[in-house]
Chain A
Amino acid sequence: MTDSPAIEARGLTKRYGSFVALDHVSFAVPRGQILGYLGPNGAGKSTTIGILVGMLSASEGSVFFGGHEFRRDDYAMRRRLGYVPESGGLYETMTGFEFLQMTARLYHLGEKEAERKARGFLELFELERAMHQRMGTYSKGMRQRVLISAALLHDPELLFFDEPLTGLDANTALLLKDLVRQLAQDGKTIFYCSHVLEVVERLCDRVIILDKGKAVADGSMAELRSSTDAATLEQIFQQLTHEEDTEARVRQFQSLLRSEP
């Protein structure tokens, strides 16, 4: 079990009718690694996470955690997962406290322990004053802090983050980045999906770049630099995802803005 990768995807494919959202993607993530999972919009990042956490079924391929094949009805395995979704993920009519308390109870934490954890996480993320307000009234950053708490409070071994910094202020973003590093040092495996290339470059041990449902790059920053002759992750990303010359596109925008009706 210890030699086996913490997370392993073998030939993951997801089709919606004739549309292929994910096309035979394979990778293995060792225990304690922070994997950056990148790609343009619609590349299949969230679909990959959906399959990995057992929310979506794959059209083809398998997922293994610690060498064991993950089946969707394997609830013992599910207890080891934590997931911060990109959007949604909370009931807006509940208060932050109620939501976290509910989440803790779903993992069989006792009433008092659930209450303690919910209160503790909300205080840690500076939400104590809003904890009894409905989450529909929360700002994007406040919701994100609740989502992160709801993913962490049962102390999972495998963490899946989908754009976790969305809406967070600079201080909370810094706190989260430090927290992610610390969690990885404690042996937890982090699957980190983001558009913010600078953060991924600084935070992740390894990067996979996805484009049109296919993995087009997989390696550490040093490996990616040497294989692409690019200095930054931004340039690597641009090269591999066939992004057009952005300067030319900016000029096109300018001419469109200036044009008479």
Chain B
Amino acid sequence: MSGSAPPAETAWPPLVSKLFEFLGVDQIQYQTLVRSGFLIDLRASAQVASGGRETETPLRSSLTLYAVYSAFLGLLAFAIPAGLYGRVMMIFGMTLMGMIMLVDFGVTLVVPEDLVILGWRPISSRTYFAAKLTNALAFIAMFAGALFTLPSILGVFSKGASMLFPLLFLPCAVLGSVFVAGLVAASYAALLRVFSAERFRSAVNYLQIAMMATLMVGSQLGPRLEGRNALRAMRGQSLDTAAWSWWDLLPPHWFCAPSEALLGGAGARTLALSAMAFTVTAALFIVLTRSLSFRYLEQVHGSGSSAPSPNRSSDGHTPLILRAISTLFRTNEENVMFNLIRIVIARDRQVRLRVYPMMAYSLVVLPAIILFPASSGERHVSMGLMNITPLIVLTLLPSVILPLLPYAGESQGAWIFELTGFENSGSVASGIKKSLFCLFLAPLASISLAGLAFFVGMGQAALWVVFGLSSSMLLTQIAFMGLYSGLPFTRKMVKGKAASRMAYVLLCYLVIGALGALAYFVLDTTIRVLIATGVLIAGAAVLNSIGNSNFRPFDVGPQTDEPVGLIQ
């Protein structure tokens, strides 16, 4: 810091002051920035968690939710050996931490607005970075505590665990969380080196979507794959911490290694993986210290000020596929809704960040069923389950996508509909449903078809995909009528409706379960599948006309109700 700075009045111990001096960090500014950072992040996280509206205790709610969720998974401790338990918990915790960093608290590490607020003030990059790092580590510690404390304690009850398990596993888990957070931040920094400022923003968007999709898939598949080992272990084999496997390429295995080494005896594998964990985390933070500065913020900021990049559709020509799809949308209202949903999803980063990973999440069913361990613990594919995969994938989709479409205030410009109104409400409903079909169901059906055809042949795959699609259309009608009525982008979450909506959610899952059971146990011939498909399509058509005629675009419930957060 500059030599002209007035002397700092501080009560900090001389050793700490000397350390700050050695690091070139201004003590008063650091203290001020850390304090303000906590204030801003806690309040900002409150708004993120509540979908832009302020609530009193969203952070506490989130932490409690994560703690309860991880405690449930921690019950695995009573079933599997300590080593395996640690790995499963580490995979789960690290992926969840990655998601938290990407969606909720990425803001803690990269704050472009800091450039305008602090970038011109006499604050060195080192002071700024030290404060940012402190804020980020505090958040990581808070979430790591929520995610790992109870599972660490429960780990004592896993087979072969000692009383030291919590003391050894928890620090490893926190280190793993620090690594994940550092990885997210370092990925941003690396993108800035690879991409020009003009392309940085879209590159960040795609990176976030790819990371989120990977994490969602990983959080489902990782523990399942470890579960295959669990079955072997439960048959009497103990987990051999000395044996190398391809799974050791995964970071959660590195971060489990120190506790495995200390609990089960240090070997070449556990020592090497432990060294990997510490080295990679340290390397990440060296990268970060070189990247996270006002210069970095300027680059992020500059990406928004740069000249617009050439737009592919700026020549006025609509792509052929869009023209083909738009023929399905016959009225003005249908066309408006299709274009609105298509454009918002294509351009709104927050919406894409929620929708695309959810699509990946739906698809997890296919590999999860392939990897489903049979009782023998050997590789085994259940053809019955395989056939109903499209049904599960496609019926889950409406329930995960519809609530993710933006709510009131989240999408700029939607207010125009409240001013202009619609001539034909039924057409609006029809447009939303058709958009859902064209933008999500049809692509996901194609992917399911390709995946399933590989195992059961094209004819059989097509049959089950059509069955899945017709089931999904029926579910979409039920969900649309009961759960998500009203125009997306203007809809408000209303507290009073939460309980009644739960009944619809249960109804939807009941229908999915019934359809799954029907398909698995009854539909064993092609003709039966075709008949069931026909019945489902007829049911969907009847509900479609009822739903469309009763559709009210701006039915937002009683105005006296307080708005509630999206995540509560």
Contact = CB atoms under 8 A, between A and B. Distances in A.
Contacts of A261: none
Interface residues of A, number: 38
Q: From B3, B33, B36, B123, name the one whose CB has the most chain A CB atoms within 10 angstroms.
A: B36
Interface string A68-91: 000011111011010101011111
B245 interface: no
A241 to B, nearest CB: 20
A141 to B, nearest CB: 19
B298 A56 contact: yes
Contacts of B47: 93
Interface string B1-15: 111111011000000
Contacts of B118: 106
A108 interface: yes
B32 interface: yes
Contact of A85 (B116, B123, B198): B116
B28 A108 contact: yes
Contact of A78 (B9, B54, B117, B122): B122
Q: From B31, B120, B294, B295, name the one whose CB has the most chain A CB atoms within 10 angstroms.
A: B120
Given A16-B197, A94-B36, A105 B28 contact: yes
A18 B115 CA distance: 23
B305 A21 contact: yes
Nearest to B39: A94
B44 interface: yes
Nearest to A53: B120
A19 B307 contact: yes
A48 to B, nearest CB: 13
A90 B36 contact: no
A17 B113 contact: no
Interface in B468-494: none
Contacts of B301: 56
B21 to A, nearest CB: 15
Interface in A82-141: 83, 85, 87-91, 93-94, 98, 102-103, 105-108, 110-111, 134
A108 B5 contact: yes
A19 B119 CA distance: 23
B220 interface: no
A57 B115 CA distance: 12
Interface string A43-76: 0000100000111110000000000000011111
B2 A75 contact: yes
B302 A16 contact: yes
A93 B307 contact: no
B40 interface: yes
Contact of B6 (A57, A108, A111): A108
Nearest to B114: A91
Contact of B115 (A17, A55, A78, A98): A55
A106 B307 contact: no
Interface residues of B, number: 43
Interface in A1-49: 16-19, 21, 47
Nearest to B118: A106
A106 B44 contact: no
Contact of B9 (A21, A87, A90, A110): A110
B43 interface: yes
Interface in B155-188: none
Interface in B112-135: 113, 115-124
Interface in B19-73: 28-29, 31-33, 35-36, 39-40, 43-44, 47, 54
A83 B122 CA distance: 12
Contacts of A17: 196-198, 306-307
A156 B485 CA distance: 56
A9 to B, nearest CB: 16
A21 to B, nearest CB: 7
Q: From A75, A83, A107, name the one whose CB has the most chain B CB atoms within 10 angstroms.
A: A75
B198 A90 contact: no
Given A76-B2, A107-B122, A108-B6, A89 B117 contact: yes
A189 B117 CA distance: 21
B36 A102 contact: yes
Given A76-B122, A134-B43, A88 B116 contact: yes
B305 A90 contact: no
A72 B297 CA distance: 14
A90 B124 contact: no
Contacts of A83: 120
Given A73-B124, A102-B36, A106-B121, A79 B4 contact: yes
Contacts of B31: 105
A18 to B, nearest CB: 7
Q: From A78, A87, A108, name the one whose CB has the most chain B CB atoms within 10 angstroms.
A: A108
A55 B32 contact: no
A136 B295 CA distance: 27
A79 B121 CA distance: 7
Contacts of A88: 113, 116-117
A103 B99 CA distance: 33
Contacts of A89: 116-117
Contacts of A53: 120
A40 B107 CA distance: 33
Contacts of B295: 57
Contacts of B294: 55, 72
Contacts of A56: 298, 301-302
A75 B2 CA distance: 5
Contacts of A81: 120
Q: From B32, B116, B121, name the one whose CB has the most chain A CB atoms within 10 angstroms.
A: B121
A90 B113 CA distance: 8
Contacts of A111: 9
A94 B117 contact: no
A93 B122 contact: no
Nearest to A73: B124
Contacts of A87: 116
Contact of A90 (B5, B28, B117): B117
Given A17-B198, A90-B117, A93-B39, A76 B307 contact: no
A134 B197 CA distance: 33
A53 B294 CA distance: 13
Interface in B80-122: 113, 115-122
A15 to B, nearest CB: 10
Contacts of A79: 2, 4, 122
Contacts of B5: 75, 108
Given A75-B2, A134-B54, 20 more contacts: A16-B197, A16-B198, A16-B305, A17-B197, A17-B307, A18-B307, A19-B307, A47-B305, A55-B119, A55-B294, A78-B2, A79-B2, A83-B120, A87-B116, A91-B113, A94-B39, A102-B35, A106-B33, A108-B8, A134-B43
12 contacts: A17-B307, A47-B305, A54-B120, A55-B294, A75-B2, A75-B122, A75-B123, A78-B122, A89-B116, A91-B40, A94-B40, A110-B9
- For the complex of A and B, 4 pairs with smallest distance between CB atoms: A19-B307, A93-B43, A75-B2, A16-B306
